[in-house]
Amino acid sequence: MAIPVVEPARYDQQLEAKAERIRRDFARFAPPALEVYPSPPSHYRQRCEFRIWHEGDDLFYAMFEIQESEGDAEGSKKKHKTVVRLDDYPVASRQINALMPRLLDAIRDNDLLRRRLFQVEFLTTLSGEALVTLIYHRPLDEAWEAEARRLQDRLGVMIIGRARKQRRVLERDHVWERLEVEGREFVYQQVENSFTQPNAEICRSMLTWAREVTRGSQDGDLVELYCGNGNFTVGLAENFRRVLATEISRTSVASARENLAANRIDNVTVGRMSAEEFAAALKGEKGGRRVAEWALDEYDFTTVLVDPPRAGLDEASCRQLSGYSRIVYISCNPETLANNLERLTETHRITRFALFDQFPWTHHCECGVLLERRE
Ligand SMILES: C[S@@+](CC[C@H](N)C(=O)[O-])C[C@H]1O[C@@H](n2cnc3c(N)ncnc32)[C@H](O)[C@@H]1O
């Protein structure tokens, strides 16, 4: 992994290079003009993790940079891991950058907090809340907790301590984010060590785009796969009569339910099930109590939204998606998106196509695609 080099003056250039690559790689699907959503050029990541490097009396934040050396005579390449010291990190939110030195200053000469600390994770929000997780290679006792509570008060953040088979939550295991989207405010519980969108401004753009492309769908229902903590579910619920959303992670499902309640949404059911099992349930090939409770026959699914991990969709899920009038596909991996589109464009055509610069200064791209069934 290369650590991103942030050069705000070159932001437009790096984004245009990405947009050009996406236009070129997807030209064979004849999509409409690419809609490009920029990120703030710096301080865009709300969550970051750093290794803690101890050197004599000092300690600092570090990341590993992995480089490949020239191949040897047989052509096999070697990977080298270099420790890179980070006194600040322009990729991370301003809140994380403000906390970084304050946290180290508080820990440096404090044996209880410092001993065998090897990783720090920051989770911050646009709403101003911050959670810091300190991860240790030693068990955490009462003395640690008392000291960590003092640190919590001093920094004005919430602290969690983690060690092998231990998780000490001093205040809360989550933050509350508030995102303004099209003049509305959505609130989201974001749980520590669980998936949340890393770039909050880009998340607002994605929610705006997804709401726009699904507007006017109230006569039908939405089925959502990979719903996580209900990020899109909360933003899109009012565009549909009813929504059925599924997700594999127990923590994320619980969080999605919290988020629906917090946003006073009552037309959504969230179920815990893998996308693959859910595809089978929708086809009538999987039964059981949970599936029976959903009363799938009572839905009229006109739209499906998927936001899978980097691996994209498997063959069975693609086949399942082909049955809906409209498909909204959010993807963090253009390669697997293109593979899936080979299949999906047999039955549907692309009517909206967006690039969200979720990960500036890296080659990674987040895309949004709306597909509508061919007549
Ligand atoms: C890219 S995240 C998207 C989450 C959410 N849509 C959001 O915007 O925050 C992908 C989600 O898929 C879930 N996931 C991974 N594999 C899965 C599977 N086989 N079936 C269902 N969900 C899965 C992960 O737990 C994660 O929450």
Check pocket membership of 309 for ligand 1, CB cut-off 6 A: yes
One domain, residues 30 and 52 = no
Total Cβ atoms within 10 A of residue 156? 10
Residues 226 and 360 grouped into a single domain: yes
Residue nearest atom 13 in ligand 1 by C-alpha distance: 226
Cβ(198) to ligand 1 under 6 A?
A: no
Give backbone dihedrals phi and psi of 206, rounded to 5 degrees, phi first.
-65, -40
Residue 72 annotated as lining a ligand binding site: no
Q: How confident is the model at residue 73 (pLDDT cuts 50, 70, 90)?
A: low
Residues 6+ apart with CB under 8 A from 361: 4, 5, 6, 7, 14, 91
Residue 226 known to bind ligand = yes
Provide the pLDDT for residue 234: 98
- Residues whose CB is less than 8 angstroms from the CB of residue 211 and which lie 6 or more positions away in sequence, other chains included: 181, 182, 235, 236, 239
Three-state secondary structure call for residue 365: coil
- Write the ipTM: 0.99
* Residue 231 annotated as lining a ligand binding site: yes
Q: Which residue has the tokens 């998780």?
A: 167
Mark out the alpha helices in the chain (DSSP H runs): 11-26, 94-107, 111-114, 142-155, 200-213, 231-236, 250-262, 275-282, 289-294, 315-321, 334-344
Are residue 211 and residue 345 in the same domain, yes or no? yes
pLDDT at 76 over 90: no
Residue with the bigger pLDDT between 3 and 47: it is 47
For residue 93, what is the domain's CATH number? 2.40.50.1070
> How far is Cα 217 from Cα 36, in angstroms, rounded to an integer?
24
When divided into structural domains, the chain yields a total of: 2
175, pLDDT greater than 90: yes
Give the pLDDT band (50/70/90) at residue 68. confident
Residue nearest to atom 11 of ligand 1 (CA): 226
Same domain, 204 and 168: no
Secondary structure (DSSP) of 202-227:
HHHHHHHHHHHHTTTBTTSEEEEES-
Task: Say if CB 37 and CB 202 are below 8 A apart.
Answer: yes
**Average pLDDT of 59-86?**
84
Closest CA to 94 of 119, 63, 126, 121: 126
Assess whether the C-beta atom of 333 lies below 6 angstroms from ligand 1.
no
pLDDT digits (tens, 9 = 90+) for 28-37: 999 999 999 9
Distance of alpha carbon 24 from alpha carbon 37, whole angstroms: 18
- Residue 26 in any domain: the answer is yes
Q: For 154-173, what is the mean pLDDT?
A: 98
Question: Residue 128 falls within a domain, yes or no?
Answer: yes
Q: Which atom of ligand 1 is nearest to the CA of 249?
A: 25
Residue 194 belongs to some domain of the structure: no
Query: Based on the domain organization, do 251 and 340 belong to the same domain?
Result: yes
pLDDT the model gives residue 80:
84
Dist. CA 323–CA 304, nearest whole Å: 9
Q: Is 258 in the pocket of ligand 1 (CB under 6 A)?
A: no
Calpha distance 6→183 (Å, rounded)? 31
Atom 25 of ligand 1, nearest CA residue: 249
| 332 within some domain | yes
Contact 155, 132 (CB under 8 A): yes
Is 191 a member of any domain? no
The answer to whether position 260 is within a domain reads yes
- The confidence score (pLDDT) of residue 316 equals 86
Distance (Å) from CA 109 to ligand 1 centroid: 41
User: How far apart are the CA of 350 and the centre of ligand 1, in A?
Assistant: 23
**Ligand 1: which residue has its CA nearest to atom 5?**
228
Take atom 18 of ligand 1 and give the residue whose Cα is closest. Answer: 274
- CA 275 to ligand 1: nearest atom: 20
- Residue 207 and residue 118 share a domain: no
Q: How confident is the model at residue 69 (pLDDT cuts 50, 70, 90)?
A: confident
Residue 72's pLDDT is: 67
Please indicate, yes or no, whether residues 291 and 352 belong to a single structural domain of this protein: yes
Same domain, 27 and 106: no
Across 322-345, average pLDDT:
97
For residue 3, is it within any domain?
Answer: no
**Enzyme catalytic residues:** 332, 366
R_g of the chain, CA atoms, integer Å: 22
Long-range contacts of the stretch 285-290 (C-beta < 8 A, 24+): none
Full residue range of the structural domain in which residue 288 is found: 8-42+199-373
Same domain, 159 and 231: no
The least confident of 112-116, 258-262, 281-285 is 281-285
- Give the E-state strand segments of 39-183 in sequence order: 47-55, 58-68, 79-86, 117-124, 130-136, 158-163, 166-169, 174-181
What is the 1 CA–ligand 1 centroid distance (Å)?
A: 23
Assess if residue 328 is contained within a domain: yes
Q: Is 333 annotated as a binding residue?
A: no
Q: What is the mean pLDDT of the chain?
A: 95
C-alpha 248 – ligand 1 centre gap (Å): 7
> Cα separation of 52 and 59, whole Å?
7
- Do 137 and 121 have their domain in common? yes
Distance of CA 230 to the CA centre of its chain: 11
Same domain, 109 and 250: no
Neighbour-count burial of 280, counting CB atoms closer than 10 A to its CB (0-12 exposed, 13-18 middle, 19+ buried): middle
The CB of 356 under 6 Å from ligand 1? The reply is: no
The domain spanning residue 341 has which CATH number? 3.40.50.150
Regarding whether 355 and 276 lie in a shared domain, the answer is yes
Q: What is the mean pLDDT of residues 152-158?
A: 97
Sequence letter at residue 102? R
Q: At which of 112, 140, 175 does a domain end?
A: 175
Mark which of 175, 207, 234 sits at the end of a domain. 175
